[in-house]
Amino acid sequence: MKLNKIGVAAVALATTAVATVALAQVRDQIRVVGSSTVFPYSQAVAEEFANLTGSRAPIVESTGTGGGFQVFCAGIGPSNADVTGASRAIKASEYELCVANGVTDITELQLGYDGLSIAVSRASTFDWNLTEAQIFQALAAEVEVDGAVVPNPYTNWSQIDPSLPDVTITVFGPPPTSGTRDAFVELAMHDGCAEFPAIQALEAARRTDVCSRMRQDGPFVEAGENDNLIVQRIISDPTTIGIFGYSFLYENSDTLKAVAVEGIVPTFETIADFSYAIARPIFIYVKNQHRGVIPGLDDFVAEFVSDAALAPGGYLAERGLTPLSDELRAEMQDRALNAVTMDPAV
């Protein structure tokens, strides 16, 4: 008899638990999604915002840039995200998705720059300096040899250029789902590819394919989204090279050293003025239709672009963000505070 009652009570509890969801429709927490590159910065702003204002801590989720836009553009209302971070500008197709779902009033804010670093262990004795063409030759699926486009034959760095060490090419990098990989292909591989006349002579679709495809035969290892894992693997073997966000190089400067690209080593300065070749701007996108509806969103966005966060020496720079110029920062602050709607044409 007793058991009977307990069973009934448990079922009833479970049902009420499900039913309470209907009540949870109003949201009093800000929700941030988006790129894993922007994630540490969103984290910092969310923590600072919660500490300073005492309001409920925003929910920050790392979904990747593309995944972030999928969630962000899903519509208006408490179940959709308010802010998304992106390690590239919004694509036309993503903007159309937003508009189709009624998300028409978006503010685009550039936060700063992020450098992709190529690094080796400090134990490596060689002073690495690669050109973008060499990076392409080492990592592309197909390369140009004697005027012909052939499957990548290189297995040792010295085969590409005799001045490079005679070690096997082993490079750990991000998988195709990652925004870091997109950026690496676009910024390093495409530029390197442009220096090979036979590839440039190919018809457009084939050329893009050759320039974008990373090799699958071993020397390039997709090491998963976890940058710490790449760091540990390259430390344990000084002949291997890793590709990851600059903040990881910055945090691990005692065990890693940068590979110079086109003779330039990544630092905050060389990333900001784009003299370091593999740097990109990073953005957040704010859903203005949620301002005034989700409590605290205005203040949160204001905190995101405040001098305390974005200025040189601000707490985002401490986490590895390369800051904007003063004029650009002032423009972003103006955009953020006045909720300036972005113009998709630009």
Partner 1 sequence: MTVIDAPATGPDWSSAASNANRRRRYAADRRLRIYGLTAIIIAVGVLVILLATVLTGGASAFVQTRVTVEFTIDPELVSADNIQRGNYRQIITNAVAELFPEIADDRTALTAAGRILTSNAQFFVRDAVVADPSLIGRTLTLAIPASDPFDQLNKGTIARDLPEEQRRVNDRDTALFDQLVDRGLVSTPFNWGLFFNADSRFPELAGLRGAIIGSFYLLLVTLLVSVPVGIAAAIYLEEFARRGRWSRLIEVNINNLAAVPSVVFGLLGLAVFINFFGLPRSAPLVGGLVLSLMTLPTIIIVTRAALKAVPPSIREAAYGIGASKHQMVLHHVLPLALPGILTGTIIGMAQALGETAPLLLVGMNAFLTAAPGGITDAATALPTQIYIWADSSERGFVAKTSAGIVVLLLFLIVMNAVAIFLRRRLERTW
* Smallest distance, partner 1 to C-beta of residue 17, A: 6
Query: Is residue 68 at the binding interface for partner 1, with CB under 8 A as the rule?
Result: no
* Smallest distance, partner 1 to C-beta of residue 214, A: 22
Q: How far apart are CA 325 and CA 253, in angstroms?
A: 25
Strands (DSSP E) found in 122-201: 129-130, 142-145, 148-151, 171-173
Q: Which residue among 27, 215, 290, 335 contacts partner 1 (CB under 8 A)?
A: 27
* Smallest distance, partner 1 to C-beta of residue 227, A: 7
If you compute the radius of gyration of the chain from its CA atoms, what whole number of angstroms results? Answer: 24
Query: Is residue 236 at the binding interface for partner 1, with CB under 8 A as the rule?
Result: no
Q: How far apart are CA 68 and CA 199, in angstroms?
A: 34
Residues 216-235 that bind partner 1 (CB under 8 A): 225-229
What DSSP assignment string belongs to 222-252? Answer: E--S-HHHHHHHHHH-TT-EEEEEHHHHHHT
Q: Which residue among 168, 200, 208, 253 contacts partner 1 (CB under 8 A)?
A: 253
Query: Is residue 13 at the binding interface for partner 1, with CB under 8 A as the rule?
Result: yes
Query: Is residue 175 at the binding interface for partner 1, with CB under 8 A as the rule?
Result: no
Query: Is residue 100 at the binding interface for partner 1, with CB under 8 A as the rule?
Result: no
Query: Is residue 168 at the binding interface for partner 1, with CB under 8 A as the rule?
Result: no
* Smallest distance, partner 1 to C-beta of residue 329, A: 21
* Smallest distance, partner 1 to C-beta of residue 247, A: 5
Cβ atoms of residues 259 and 278 within 8 Å: no
Q: Taking the C-alpha atoms of 284, 286, 317 and 60 in order, what is their torsion angle to the nearest 10 degrees?
A: -90
Q: How far apart are CA 210 and CA 37, in angstroms?
A: 27
Query: Is residue 24 at the binding interface for partner 1, with CB under 8 A as the rule?
Result: yes
Q: How far apart are CA 255 and CA 230, in angstroms?
A: 13
Q: Which stretch binds partner 1 (CB under 8 A): 36-44, 82-90, 260-268, 270-278?
A: 36-44
- Tokens 């009570």 — which residue? 9
Q: How far apart are CA 86 and CA 179, in angstroms?
A: 8
Q: How far apart are CA 190 and CA 179, in angstroms?
A: 16
Count the residues of the shown chain that bind partner 1, applying the rule CB under 8 A.
53
Q: Which is nearer to partner 1, 106 or 235 (CB)?
A: 235
Residues 257-316 that bind partner 1 (CB under 8 A): 315
What DSSP assignment string belongs to 294-344? Answer: BTTHHHHHHHHHSHHHHSTTSHHHHTTPBPPPHHHHHHHHHHHHTTPPP-T
Q: Which is nearer to partner 1, 81 or 193 (CB)?
A: 81
Among candidate residues 34, 37, 30, the one with its CA nearest the CA of residue 112: 37
Cβ atoms of residues 132 and 191 within 8 Å: yes
Query: Is residue 173 at the binding interface for partner 1, with CB under 8 A as the rule?
Result: no
Q: Which residue among 35, 37, 38, 46 contacts partner 1 (CB under 8 A)?
A: 46
Query: Is residue 252 at the binding interface for partner 1, with CB under 8 A as the rule?
Result: yes
Q: Which residue among 79, 168, 208, 216 contacts partner 1 (CB under 8 A)?
A: 79
Interacting residue ranges for partner 1, rule: CB under 8 A: 1, 3-4, 7, 10-11, 13-14, 17-18, 20-21, 24, 27, 29, 31, 36, 39-40, 42-44, 46-47, 50-51, 54, 56-57, 59-63, 79, 122, 225-229, 245, 247-248, 250-254, 315, 318-320
